[in-house]
Every structure is written in C-alpha cells, then in structure tokens.
Amino acid sequence: MRVYLDNAATTRCSDRAKELLLRLLSDDYGNPSSLHQMGKEAEDAVREARKKIAKTIKAEEKEILFTSGGTESNNLALLGAAYANMRAGKHIITTVIEHASVSAPLEFLTEQGFEVTCLLVDSCGRISIEELKNALRPDTILVSVMMVNNEIGTLQPVEEAAAVIKANNPDTLFHVDAIQAYGKYRIYPKRMGIDLMSVSGHKIHAPKGTGFLYIRDKAKVKPVLYGGGQQRGMRSGTENVPGIAAFGEAAAESYEDFERKTAHMRELRERLMRGITAVSGVSVNGAAQDGAAPHIVSASIEGVRAEVMLHALEEKGIYVSAGSACSSNKPAVSRTLKSIGLRPELLDATIRFSLCAHTTCEEINYAIETLCEMAPRLQKYAPRQ
Amino acid sequence: MISDNKYKSFLIKYAEIAVKGKNRFLFEDALVGRIHQALKSVDGSFFVRKEQGRIYVDAQGEYDYDETVLALQHVFGIVGICPVVLLEDEGFDALARAVIDCIDREFADKKFTFKVNARRARKNYPMESMEINASLGERILEAFPDTRVDVHKPQVMVCVEIRNQINVYFKVIPGPGGMPVGTNGKAMLLLSGGIDSPVAGYMIAKRGVAIDATYFHAPPYTSERAKQKVVDLAKIISRYTGPIRLHVVNFTDIQLYIYEQCPHEELTIIMRRYMMRLAEHFAKESGCLGLITGESIGQVASQTMQSLAATNEVCTMPVYRPLIGFDKQEIVEISEKIKTYETSILPYEDCCTIFVAKHPVTKPSIQVIQNDEKKLSEKIDALIAQAVETTEKILVLPD
C-alpha cells in the first residue's frame, strides 16, 4: 500500500492536466512567438490557461504572469517590487516564518541596502495585526506575508493585514505567498487588497516547473529576466506552453466541487490529528480548526528523530516530510517551529503530513494505525540521558 | 572531441615497479591492464604497448587529450605522463628539423630558456648523448634566435630518447605514483559515509592493493540517501582502484540489540567490534588479506589507543589503518585532492552517529567489554547470521 501524505511538497499531476500537457508536447508544439498558425495555436493555449486561472481568482487576464514556479514568483515579486519602488523608500516588512524563497531574496535585498523588518508570530504561528501596524513606516514600500505556512499550515489574516497596510499608505505594495493556500481557499486578491500573489503549479496537481505571479494592474514591478520581451516584457523567455496549459487545467479543476473537497480534507485532517495525538508524547503544532489550512498536519513525536520516523513510516509505504521537504534535504532547524516556541527537543522530532483532495479515509486510518504502532516502539530507543 | 591534438602518443613513466626484479613483467602487465581499464571511459580508442621497459599509449584517431591525461592520472604505478612525438630515425638532420617543428607547434612564444636532454638507449646510433645535446641545442638556437640555453634551470626541457623510434617530449605530467592495483592482493575497506574511510581506501590501493568494501546500513535510522552517498564515494575511489565489490550490511537489529542489552557508554565500542567481525567475515569470503579502516589515533572516543585495542582484539586478520598518524586537516586535504570531500560532507547520518552516548567510554577495558558482550549471547549469533544472509552486494564500477 502506498500512502502519499506529502502533498505540500508536491502532488500527482492530474489526468486532465497530463492529457493537455502531452498534446501540447507532441502535437501543438509551436512557439507562441511564431507568426504562423502553429504559433497561434500555442498562443491560444497560453491564453486559454490564462483565462482559466484569472477566473479562479477573479483577476484580469493581463494580471497573470506565468513563471517557472513558486520560487521564481516570490523572487520576481520581491526583487521586482523593491527595485521598481526604491525611490519611494527602502523599507520592507515580512514575517519570521516565510519560506526560503521569500526570506533569501529579502536577505539579498538587505545586502543591497534595503531594510527588512521581520514580524514575530504567536504560538500558533500567527502574526499580530497590531505589530504590523506599528512596524509600518512612511518609507515602507513592500509587505510580504505568506497566506498559509508550509510547515504548520497556519492561516494568516491577510485581509486585515491589507487593510492596515493600505490605511497607512495606499502605495505600499502587499505581496502574499499563496503557494500553500491556492486551491485550498478562494482568494480574490483585488477585493482582499493584495497587489502581488505567488502561486505554484505542482502543489495543485499541475506539472513541476509551472507557476504564476498575480500582479495587480498598475502595480510597479521590474522584470528579473530580460530578453525577447515575452509576456509583455515582464518575463522574457519562450513560454512553457505545455506546462502552462496543464497548469490552467489543474487550476480550474482544483476549484471545481471546491466546497466538498475542502470539507473532505478538513475532516480527514481532524481525524488524523485526533488519531495520532492519542499516542503518548505526540502533539500537533499550529492553529486549530479554521485557523489552519485543511491539508497540513505538523506532528511532534517526543523522543523520535523526524528522519527516523519518516523512514520508519516509509518502510510501511507512508510518505511524509521531516519539517519542511521543500527546503532541499538539509536537516537544518526549522525557523517556523522555533518561532512558535516549540520545545527544543521537539524541533528535530517533528514531521509533516499533508493531504490532498484525493486522500482517502482508509489511507488516513492506515497512517494513524501505523504511527500508533511505531511511535512507542521507536520511543523505546530514544537517546538515554 | 578535440581533433587537432599535437600528440598521438603518451610515454608512461613508472619507477618503483622497474626495480622488482624477476616479478617486473607481472607489475608491468598489471599496469597495462589498469591503463586499459582507465581509458575505457575516455573519448577515443587507444593502443597500449610495452616496449623496452617503457609503456606507450597510442591514440587511434581522434581522442580527448584532457580526458586521457586525467584518466592516466588515476592509474597507480604511473609516475609521469609524457605527451610524446615518435619519429623514425632518418638521420640527425631530419631529427633536428622535426624537433624544431615540434617546438614551433608546442610553444607560441619562442622566448624561453631550454636544455636538450638526450638519451641514447639504442647504442648503435652514430652520435653520443652529449653530442646530440650540443648539436641539437645549436640548431634550436639558430631556428629561434630569442631562445637561450640554461642547463641549470631551463624553462623548457627538450627530451630526446633514441630508441627503435625516437621519442621527443617536452613535459612530464605527474602521475599518482604508487603501484598498480592488483599487484599486492586485496583488502576489505570499512566504508562509512565520512571523510576518512574513502581516503584510507585510496591510500592502501595506492600501494597496489585491490579494494572491496563493507558499509553498515541501519534503516530507518539511516536513509537510502546515506546508502547512495556511500555508493557514490565507492564510485569515486573506483576511478583509482578499479571495480569495488560493496557489501551493504543491514545492521539495525544488531545495533538495537546491543542498545537493549549493553551499557550505553560502551555501545559504540561494542558496535564497532561487531562491524569488524562482520567485515572480516566478508573479507575471508572474498579472498581479502586484511581490513582497512580510516581510524586515526584520538580522533573520536572510539579511536583512542584503548578503544583501538578493544576493536582490534576481535580481528584475526591484520587491520591496516593508513591514517593512523594523520591530523584531520591532512585527511581533508587528501579527500579534496581525490574529490571525495564534497560527497563525504553531505549531511546524511551514518550508523556510527546514531545512538551515540553523551559520554562514551574513552578507555575501555577489554575485559569489561568482553563481559558485557556476554549479555548478547542469547540472540547475537542468529542476528549476525541474518545480517550476513541479507547483505546486499553491489559491484561498483567507475563511470
């Protein structure tokens, strides 16, 4: 039995997306920039995908910029916004629990003379709107807050954050990393006051190497890639047509039957949390119920190193992550877990289960059963002090 | 592929094996064999021949010069690699013209100091070495007026060896030295994922010893990636040693049993004693004459003199520890040179680093250890038998 519970790392490509991908790889393989009919067909495929995606977030088509994925979207949003607005100021606000594809470009910007303020989070992993309000300054040009944390699933109050930011200065750009949120929440950036929003394709059953950045019309962002001037000069380089088309399809699909799917994931999440916390020494991190995304469960198992637990579950066919899988395979201490004040001995003992709409109740039951059986056995070999 | 190579042949210099008396041909044949093996991965095809105490590598058609030199630099026993021009003997005049031609192609800037170093291996050549040196030097000075002779510290050494063919070469690229692998039997390397053991394997192989290896795998405590890392390390050193038969022993149950039964601070020592026993089992099975470890005195608790004595005690075969007197930095330098360092420092746990006691014994008494090992008597034989039976054997070949 193979139970894949690492959907926050990546997902299986959906059949509909795959079909489209294959068609565009082998039949309609033109370059959208070519003037002939094949070029036009490719361009149509991109336009069609753009339309589908724009619809899911009630945006205009021209506000969707296709990228190679979440990391590129975040980099473009931050570097592009910082360089385009540096005359208005050099102050940027973010949080301590951002993904490396946000925190690393911000570190780079710090070296370039920008000043970055990091908001702290509470024990659930939530920022405080009051603290954000106090951090805002006249020279704040950009605020970047992730909507759903990739390690513990906590949901940030982005709408309230937007209101506070815009009240302080309507020109301050608000970037939201929605990589773990898109497909799990209905997000309408324009209504919510979001100027820039990053999304990754392979987290929602599209192929890897796809993503988009929502750029609100008239928001000032400079390109990072220069060249042939594709995508209205904002991102040069021949479009990944098959990937984009597949992404469009997967995006549309993820918002079909949406309420049922999120309710299903939420129910399984609750079941999983209840089931595993029955074992002594197992606790879950992050916010309860509606305060967290429906697909992520962060569990600390006292006395068992995360990597050991991961491989032990793997032997039983269950695939999970240690901390956050997305940040390569370096076993570095998680900043997110540290920031929510997790006890030091649990930092290295935390694994992440992440579900998708296709996860079944049987799979969750099997995972619970296996963890309940293995955890006590592994705890027996905890380092003796 | 680089088509316009100036050289079609390489003269291979070897030192130590030339003095091995009547066994000399065995060493030379082994060296030829290893050269063949090493050149397999290189773009091009080659003919390797033995002639009058020399080995020549002749490229057949187009080949990649840089890859060829690099491959030869991985063959123990080679002291120097000389890209050589081979000339038929058509009289001294023709020789002088040919040498001048070679210099013209080899050196863009003709302003250098040189010395002619002639050797007359074929004694029926009408000129003596000194005569050749002088006459050839003169002709070179005439052809390239900006050059000067410097017999003490020349920038260019013009080497001319009169043999069946005349060998002309200007540089000796250093080889790795040592002796051809396979001329000194085989030994079993205890290979972890760390920095030291690959270096230890390299050093013993350098003395002509073929290498097999044993790795202790402890799932779920060590991951598939940790195992992959060890396979990768074996692959890197196999460029020097030739094929390595890697034994992957499933060590988890033994380790957990020791953990359950024995004092925690002795865990590492007892564990290492069982590793040695298992490695020796496979060593005997595959005809090895000794064990190799990367231990160095005092580096960690399990490598103090007392600990080494305690682990050594269970072996009947000699245990070779080529790094025994090396500092960590010296070991790191070699690992960087042989290109294992970057793989060694990948952050995957090996089975030595799990279950480590806060304060392991540093001066174990063999008697106490032996006594505590008795606590394992109930199940250990069965566990060892099971570990032997389930051991995976991987033949690791250089890419």
CB distance A384–B225 less than 8 Å?
A: no
Residue B80 has pLDDT above 90, yes or no: yes
Q: Which of B354, B356, B359 to mutate to test the interface with A (most CBs of A within 10 A)?
A: B354
Show residues of chain A in contact with B347, CB under 8 Å. Answer: 329-331
Show residues of chain B in contact with A384, CB under 8 Å. Answer: 264, 357
- Among B219, B259, B264, beta carbon nearest to A315: B219
Residue B151 has pLDDT above 60, yes or no: yes
CB distance A385–B358 less than 8 Å?
A: yes
What is the enclosing helix (H) or strand (E) of A314?
helix A306-315
Q: Which two tokens stand for residue A284?
A: 């879950």
Q: Is the Cβ of A331 closer than 8 Å to some Cβ of chain B? A: yes
CB distance B225–A308 less than 8 Å?
A: no
Which residue does chain B place closest to A330, by CA atoms?
B347
Which residue does chain B place closest to A315, by CA atoms?
B220
CA distance B256 to chain A (A): 8
DSSP-derived secondary structure for A245-285? HHHHHHHHHHTTTHHHHHHHHHHHHHHHHHHHTTSTTEEEE
Which residue does chain B place closest to A310, by CA atoms?
B220
Summarize pLDDT for B129-149 with one digit per residue, the tens. Answer: 999 999 999 999 999 999 999
Residue from A104, A107, A151 nearest A299 by CA: A151
CA distance A333 to chain B (A): 13
- Provide the pLDDT confidence category of residue B237 given band limits of 50, 70 and 90: very high
Q: List strand residue ranges (DSSP E) for chain A, in order.
A: 3-4, 64-67, 91-95, 115-119, 140-146, 173-177, 196-200, 211-215, 282-285, 296-301, 318-319, 321-322, 350-354
Residue B101 CB neighbour total at 10 angstroms? 13
CB distance B355–A310 less than 8 Å?
A: no
What does the pLDDT average to over B305-317? 94
Residue from A336, A345, A347, A247 nearest A296 by CA: A336
What does the pLDDT average to over B203-215? 97
Show residues of chain B in contact with A383, CB under 8 Å. Answer: 355
Helical spans, DSSP H, in chain B: 24-39, 65-72, 92-106, 129-143, 196-206, 224-241, 252-261, 267-285, 305-312, 328-337, 341-344, 366-373, 380-389
Which residue does chain B place closest to A374, by CA atoms?
B220
Q: How far is CA A134 from the centre of its chain?
A: 27
Helix pair A361-379, A306-315: axis angle to 10 deg: 130
From the DSSP assignment, how many helices (H) and strands (E) are in chain A?
A: 13, 13
HSE, side-chain direction, 13 A CA sphere, residue A78: 33
CA distance B338 to chain A (A): 24
Q: Is the Cβ of A344 closer than 8 Å to some Cβ of chain B? A: no
Which residue does chain B place closest to A303, by CA atoms?
B355
Active site residue A326: yes
Summarize pLDDT for B160-208 with one digit per residue, the tens. Answer: 999 989 999 999 999 999 999 999 999 999 999 899 999 999 999 999 9
Which residue does chain B place closest to A316, by CA atoms?
B220
Q: Which two tokens stand for residue B367?
A: 């008697």
Show residues of chain B in contact with A309, CB under 8 Å. Answer: 220
pLDDT in tens, chain A (385 residues): 899 999 999 999 999 999 999 999 999 999 999 999 999 999 999 999 999 999 999 999 999 999 999 999 999 999 999 999 999 999 999 999 999 999 999 999 999 999 999 999 999 999 999 999 999 999 999 999 999 999 999 999 999 999 999 999 999 999 999 999 999 999 999 999 999 999 999 999 999 999 999 999 999 999 999 999 999 999 999 999 999 999 999 999 999 999 999 999 999 999 999 999 999 999 999 988 889 999 999 999 999 989 899 999 999 999 999 864 444 445 567 899 999 999 988 998 999 999 999 999 999 999 999 999 999 989 888 765 4
| Bridge pairing between strands B166-169 and B80-87 | antiparallel
Q: Is the Cβ of A382 closer than 8 Å to some Cβ of chain B? A: no
- Using DSSP's 3-state secondary structure scheme, residue A141 falls into strand
- Phi, psi for residue A303 in degrees, rounded to 5: 85, 5
Show residues of chain B in contact with A312, CB under 8 Å. Answer: 220
From the DSSP assignment, how many helices (H) and strands (E) are in chain B?
A: 13, 15
Helical spans, DSSP H, in A120-200: 129-135, 158-168, 189-192
Q: Which two tokens stand for residue B156?
A: 């260019």
Sign of CA dihedral A234, A236, A241, A243: negative
DSSP code for B77: T
| Bridge pairing between strands A91-95 and A115-119 | parallel
Cβ atoms of residues B316 and B188 within 8 Å: no
pLDDT at B37: 92
CA distance B348 to chain A (A): 9
DSSP-derived secondary structure for A337-358? HHHTT--HHHHTTEEEEE--TT
Residue from B312, B301, B288 nearest B361 by CA: B301
pLDDT at A168: 96
- Among A310, A331, A384, beta carbon nearest to B347: A331
CA distance B172 to chain A (A): 43
Summarize pLDDT for A237-289 with one digit per residue, the tens. Answer: 999 999 999 999 999 999 999 999 999 999 999 999 999 999 999 999 998 88
Show residues of chain B in contact with A329, CB under 8 Å. Answer: 225, 347
Which residue does chain B place closest to A304, by CA atoms?
B221
| Residue % of chain B over a pLDDT of 90 | 77
- Phi, psi for residue A196 in degrees, rounded to 5: -135, 135
Fill in the amino acid letter for B88.
Answer: E
Residue from B381, B370, B361 nearest B253 by CA: B381
Cβ atoms of residues B244 and B238 within 8 Å: yes
Which residue does chain A place closest to B261, by CA atoms?
A381
ipTM, interface predicted TM-score of the complex: 0.77
d(CA B185, CA B208): 8
d(CA B129, CA B36): 34
- Among A315, A331, A385, beta carbon nearest to B220: A315
Show residues of chain A in contact with B224, CB under 8 Å. Answer: 311
- Average pLDDT across chain B, whole number: 91
Q: Which entry of A326, A356, A361, A372 is annotated as an active-site residue?
A: A326
CA distance A276 to chain B (A): 20
CA distance A312 to chain B (A): 5
Q: Which of A309, A315, A381 to mutate to test the interface with B (most CBs of B within 10 A)?
A: A381
d(CA A155, CA B287): 63
Residue B18 has pLDDT above 70, yes or no: no
CB distance B357–A384 less than 8 Å?
A: yes
DSSP code for B142: H
CB distance A329–B225 less than 8 Å?
A: yes
- Phi, psi for residue A248 in degrees, rounded to 5: -55, -45
Angle at B333 between CA B328 and CA B339, to 5 degrees: 120
DSSP-derived secondary structure for B154-183? -SEEEEEEESSSEEEES--EE---SB-TTT
Show residues of chain B in contact with A381, CB under 8 Å. Answer: 256, 259, 355
Q: Is the Cβ of A307 closer than 8 Å to some Cβ of chain B? A: yes
pLDDT at B122: 87
In sequence order, the β-bridge partners of residue A91 are A115, A140
CB distance B221–A384 less than 8 Å?
A: no
CA distance B342 to chain A (A): 14
Q: Which two tokens stand for residue A108?
A: 């780079």
Show residues of chain B in contact with A315, CB under 8 Å. Answer: 219-220
Q: In what order do the strands lie in the sheet with B392-396?
A: B319-320, B291-292, B186-190, B210-217, B244-250, B392-396
Fill in the amino acid letter for B363.
Answer: K
pTM of the model: 0.85
